[in-house]
Amino acid sequence: MTDNGVLLSEWANDTAYENIFAEQLGNIIKLGDIDIVISGRWDSPNMLNRVKVVKCKEATTIGSIGFDSEKLSELADIDDIVPNHNMEQIEGARLFLENVITTCLRGDPNGCK
């Protein structure tokens, strides 16, 4: 969703930053889809609104969260909280998770056990 930084910035300026992900997802996500949310600080309004849209569309949210986040932890269908307040260590845990997800999506039977 955010592979074009210029477009993302323009979208935020033209609408509202707190809806930057919700607006994009609202047009494409549907029942049965899975939204994987990886964030260091989940209680930001843009992430809260994103997950609310996903829930509204009856899709599933999997979240990898850093720091403490009661609000979004309650909203996510599956959450993986990295109980740490060191952003570098949280990002390391997130990188590991991203590699596991990528391996599984590629269908590598040895990487998804």
Each residue of 44-56: pLDDT tens digit? 888 889 999 999 9
Tens place of pLDDT per residue across the chain (113 aa): 667 788 888 878 888 888 888 888 888 999 999 998 877 766 788 888 999 999 999 999 988 777 666 787 788 898 877 777 888 888 888 888 888 888 888 887 776 66
Find out whether 21 and 47 touch, Cβ atoms under 8 Å. Answer: yes
DSSP label at residue 17:
G
Share of the chain above pLDDT 90, in %: 16
pTM over 0.85: no
- Exposed e or buried b per residue across 57-86, where buried means at least 16 C-beta atoms within 10 angstroms of its C-beta: bebbbbbbbbbebeebeebbeebebbeeee
The domains of the chain, with CATH numbers, are: 16-105 (3.40.50.10490)
Find how far residue 33's CA is from the centre of its chain: 13
| Amino acid 68: pLDDT | 65
